[in-house]
Each structure stands twice: as structure tokens, then as C-alpha cells.
Chains A and B, each alone.
Chain A
Amino acid sequence: MERFGYWNKILHVDLTGGTTSVEEPGDAFYRKYGGGRGFIGHYLLKHVPEGADPLGPNNVLVFAPGVLTGAPVPGAGRHSVGARSPLSGGFGEAEAGGFWGSELKRAGWDAIVVHGASASPVYLWINEDKVEIRDASHLWGKVTGDVEEAIHADLGDPRIRVAQIGPAGENLVRFANVANDLNEFAGRSGMGAVMGSKKLKAIAVRGKTPVRIFDQRALLAISKWVSNTVDQVHRGFHEYGTGGAMQGKSLDGGIPTLNYRLGTFEGTDKVDAIAIKEEVRIDMGACFACSVRCKKVVQIEMREEDAGVTRKGVKVAVDPQHRYRVDPKYGGPEYESLASLGTNLGVDDIVAVCKSNEICNMMGMDTISAGATVAWAMEAYEKGVLTPEDTDGVKLEFRDGDAVVQMLQMIARREGIGDLLAEGSQRAAAKIGQGSEDYLTTVKGMEMAMHDPRHMAGMRASYLLAPTGGDHMRQTGDKNGLRNQVGMCHFLAYDDDQTAQILNAVTGWGVDAAEMVATAHRGLTLARLFNMREGMTRADDCLPKRFSEDLPKHKGLTGEELEKIVTDYYVEQGWDPATGAPTRETVRALGIEADGVGLV
């Protein structure tokens, strides 16, 4: 049988034994799971023993592109990383763009499942079908930029794509991320800590074999539609990337401010994507095959004499206070980072925000959880629960961008109070108590993203029910649920028909709308089965106390309205309306009985 969109090759790596093997799961596997969350759910249920330590050798770490990843069409440059989460204890998953996922596909692999743990630092070198586990002692402790450079030098090819952890992942910071291409991140749910616990510093990939496409002409038509309509359809993303609407959000009373206590921040226009474009941006970057080019690249120099003009004629910014240099190789802040390291901390200092973002990127930390954890600590400091003695003299005050820069470095290295904050805000609050639990903005142990559910009704279900916890990517919806599996960007404005056209052009499967919904439900149900196996219940599908409080312009959310969202969602997914447990009928209808053995 001819195969399109996938190779029928899954790489398994056992770091304990230092061995690799190849699984050929068969064609039905790909159509059933799609990739991404589907693969992750399948492998976590299969290989992770119940109750396994997320940071122990029994956890598995899955790198999962989808069947679309690597196809030459805008948006298809994404992959997922999954494991049992060290933040939530449940289903962990994060998605990233860039080029690494498509490179893995071009090397002839559909996914990597990493088992066990190495005794000493290693990295994986995948050169087409050749796989090598190599010593990484010389890379351990290095920041991401230096690691990529060293791997390119080691292997003699600057076109190698690298997914890796920074020092934060090595130090098991519970919200450490997995970086790829230096400026893309599988950010959420602590996947970098899992990688660090396995002593796996990086996965370097080089692939030269294009993904096979069933109908090139149909796929090209979609690509042309995107590039011909950028001005009409994707102009906002193309010009600003994310964060171009922050002033509107602030006017609306919904921008996270001072740990989600206010919805309006007077300095929003100093740290939004418009300010970034006007003051510090030197370029826009893109992911694999994408003509939207929504990724900001910022550069700031400490002194005028170092600034100059870029090759494209853009004047490089200078820090007016001569404090920080921000290296363009680490990209630039997305909306989430502008809000989590800016408005929500009361910081209107664009240089400090960009520096904070760069530190998170080079040290390998999720900007959302890092910023939200600092916000929690700043409120604790404001209320006297944390004192200068606790913080090694750092004045953890809202509005102080320099304190944020300092604290992020301490967290990544687990220095001083950084060691406590590296555990994430929920564990830190449990440790220090004194009412600091009331300042939390976590769901299932993971810090919520920067969209206030009191302001944005559409975010309520996402935060309540995303299997990973406080996740904003509307992971619960069918449309985005599917995209998280097959490897498609949420920002591409494809409608359902176009998504089906893309899937069918790549795979030749002939999927229809009903099958796409079933695929999304399958991924979400696998994640739900895993969470319930690890002890989560309906009681975990709730928002923290903070969101029951009123904002100046928006009412707090009542338990009753949130419970209704939860129940309606359970019913929509075919789960028990009272408990949220996937029913036997649903598991059978989705064809995942083997994954759910003993769980339904």
C-alpha cells in the first residue's frame, strides 16, 4: 500500500539501556490517532505505569508530529511533545512550530518515544534513518543558543534542526520547556523537566526526504490561497504577530494585570505588539512552509555604538538605561509573554519584558508559567507573606522589570527563592501557606494563560477542561483539538472544508467532517482516560478562587455557571455527565478499547 503523510515508522529510544528500536504500527494507527495528542495519549496509556513519577525513568516522553507535519502547506510545521506532567501529575502536552517537526518527518520518522533515563547527559542524533545516542557532557549546563552552535559544529552541518532543553530543564524546573530552532517552544506542562530527568539534552535531526503527498496540486491550491490572501485574511498576524490587540483588551477591562486583579493596565501600549514593531523589532520570521510569517524577531543593544542597522536596513534599538542586550537569535515575545512578563506584572518597560522573554528562551522555561509564578510571588510579597529575607533581598514588587529579570534567572538556576518558585506556584503556595493559595491562577496545577475567563467567555471551557490544565489553546474544541493532533497551526484561518481538503490532499484518506470530529474526540478522550487513571476527578475541572472575584468591568464567575459548562462538555464528549468518565459506549465508538482496558 502506498503511504502519504506518514512513513509507518515510530522510533523508540531506551535511554536506560542505550538502545533504539523501530515500531511499524500499521496504516490504521495513523488514521485513528492522527499524530500529536492522539499518539501521546496512546503511548502514555500503554507505557507509563499508573502513578509513575513524572520525573522518574518510568515516564515516557513522546515527540509527536502529525500526519500533516512537513507537508508543504502553511501551518503544517507543528509538532507536539507529551509525557506525564510534573506540574499537574496528569496528561502533559505542548505544541510548537518552527522547523524541527517537519525535519523529523523529512528524516523518515513519524514520532519518537523516549523511555527510561540515561545515567549521564546524552543527545540523540537522527540523520535520516541512522540514529545515534551521543555523549552530551560538554553541552550540559549550556544555554540553548550555545548548544545549537555546538551541535552544528560537532556534526558539521548548520542545517541540522535541534530540539533541546536549557539549564531550567536540567534543573528540573517544573515548567521547563522544550525549545526547537532556538525561537520555538513546546512550552506548557513541564516537558523540559521530563527531558532533563532523562538526562536527554537535545535531539538533533537532519532529513532530506520530502513527505509524500497524495495530491500535490490540491495542496498547492491551498498554499496559493494563503499567500494570495495574506492581506485580506492574515494581515494582523502578518504585520504584528500576536499581541496586536492588547490595547483593545485593556480597554475592554480584560488584560491580565497585577496577577489578574485588574483588567486594565495603563502601560499596555508600551509593551504590546505595536510597541514591539515600532521600537525593537528587526524582522518577522516564519515556520516551515508558512507565508503568514507571524514570528517576531527583536534585538536590543546596550550601547548606541553596538546598535547600527540590520542587513534589511532596520535600525537596532538601544536600551535607554544601558542595562540589557537582547539577542535576536531567540526570536521575540508572543502575546502570552508580553502579558505574562509585562502587563500581569505591571511592567511597562519594553526592554525588560524582551530581556525576560529572552532569559526564558535561552534557559528553557515556559514564559506563561514563569511569569504567572512570579506574579503569584509578587502578590505574596506585597501582602507580606514573602519578605525580603525570603527573597535574598530582591524587592519582588509589581512594576519592577529588573526584579523580574533577576528572579527568572534565579528560578532557572534554582538559586535562593528561585528553588521554591521552580516548583510552580501551586506547590510553592502549598509550602508557604498563609493564605497565598488565594493568589493562585492555576488549573490542575498549571498556571493559566493570559486570557481572563471573566472577560473571554470562550476561554472558560478551555481552562476548565483542557487535559493539561490552565491551557488557552482551546484544546477542548473540536477544531483545535484536531489541529493539535494532525500538526496544524491554530492561527491559519482555514475553515472546516479547507482543513478536510488539506488532510485529504496530504493523505488521500477521504475524511469528512464527522471523522475529523471523531479524531478530535478520540485524542481528548485518551487524555481524559489518562488523567482519571492518575486520580483526577470532576473536582479538578474547576477554576481557582481568583476568578470568582469581580474585575472592575467584569463579574466574577459563579460555581453554578462553571459547573454547567463542565457538564455540557462531558455530554458533548460522550462522557458520564456526573463524573466525566468516558463511557464504555464512547470508548467503543472511538475504537480505543485497547487503550482504555481496565479504565472504563
Chain B
Amino acid sequence: MPHTRANSSIVVRLTLFADLRRLLPNGHEGPLTITLPPGSTVADLMASASVPPDEDVTIGINGDQGARDSVLADDDEVVFFSPMEGG
């Protein structure tokens, strides 16, 4: 059952993967729960979570690929991946 909240905000959960975990607050394992105004985009979420705007991230919203201008909804599960890989 969805949470009941005032229409003045939405709450999303953000998980940072791989190299991006360096951006988590000290001691925080994630995911982060972030409250935003309705109509907020992924770019707004990045700013709110202190992810630098020029950071190279792949965005997932509820399992599908998203973009920086994707508009978020209440209860969205958002994931950011960095392109880090290797050997």
C-alpha cells in the first residue's frame, strides 16, 4: 500500500552502486531516502544527493533506464551506476 503523504513532496529511494558509493555520506551504507518536491527530475535528485552534475552515471528507475530529465514519482526506486569495470 502506498504511503500517504502531503501532496507537497515525494519520497524516493536512491541506491548508489560501484564506484559511486564513494559519494555516500560517511558511514552510510545506503540506500538513501530523499524527499523532493513533486515534479522533481533525476537531475534534481542528483543535486539533492550531492552527486556532481557532470558525474558519468547510468540511471535506473524502477528497473528501467531513466535520464536526467526523467520526472520522478513518489516511491520510485532509483539506482545510479558508474561505468567503472575492468579486469
Residues in chain A within 8 A of chain B (CB atoms)? 231-237, 239-240, 242-249, 251-253, 274, 334-336, 451, 456, 472-473, 490-491
Contacts and interface: CB of A to CB of B under 8 A. Distances in A.
B66 to A, nearest CB: 9
B87 A242 contact: yes
B18 A240 contact: yes
Contact of A236 (B21, B59, B64, B87): B21
Nearest to A246: B85
B60 interface: yes
B75 interface: no
Contacts of B58: 245, 248-249, 251-252
B65 A252 contact: yes
Contact of B85 (A232, A245, A274): A245
B22 interface: yes
Interface of B: 17-22, 24, 26, 57-60, 64-65, 79-87
B85 A249 contact: yes
B83 A235 contact: no
Nearest to B86: A242
A490 B86 contact: yes
28 contacts: A231-B26, A232-B22, A233-B22, A234-B22, A236-B17, A236-B18, A236-B19, A236-B20, A239-B21, A240-B18, A242-B85, A243-B85, A244-B18, A244-B84, A245-B17, A245-B18, A248-B18, A248-B79, A248-B82, A251-B64, A251-B81, A252-B58, A253-B65, A334-B86, A335-B86, A456-B83, A473-B87, A491-B87
Contact of B84 (A232, A245, A472, A473): A245
Given A236-B21, A237-B19, A335 B65 contact: no
Nearest to B82: A245
Given A236-B19, A237-B19, A335-B87, A248 B81 contact: yes
A3 B86 CA distance: 34
A245 B22 contact: no
A451 B83 CA distance: 11
Contacts of A232: 22
A247 B84 contact: no
Contacts of B82: 236, 245, 248
A235 B57 CA distance: 16
B87 A334 contact: yes
A237 B18 CA distance: 7
Residue from A233, A248, A334, A473 having most chain B Cβ neighbours under 10 A: A248
Contacts of B57: 248
Nearest to B57: A248
B81 A247 contact: yes
A451 B18 CA distance: 16
What 9 pairs between A and B have smallest CB-CB spacing? Answer: A248-B81, A244-B18, A248-B58, A236-B19, A245-B18, A236-B18, A235-B22, A251-B65, A245-B81
B46 to A, nearest CB: 15
A286 B18 CA distance: 18
B55 to A, nearest CB: 13
Nearest to A232: B22
A409 to B, nearest CB: 24
A235 B60 contact: no
B2 to A, nearest CB: 24
B79 A336 contact: no
B32 to A, nearest CB: 15
B85 A231 contact: no
A234 B80 CA distance: 17
Contacts of A240: 18
Nearest to A239: B21
A235 B22 CA distance: 5
Contacts of B86: 242, 334-336, 472-473, 490-491
A247 B60 contact: yes
Contacts of A231: 22, 26
A246 B82 CA distance: 9
Residue from B19, B57, B65 having most chain A Cβ neighbours under 10 A: B19
Contacts of A451: 85
A252 B65 CA distance: 7
Nearest to A264: B65
Nearest to B27: A231
Given A235-B21, A236-B18, A245 B87 contact: no
A231 B28 CA distance: 11
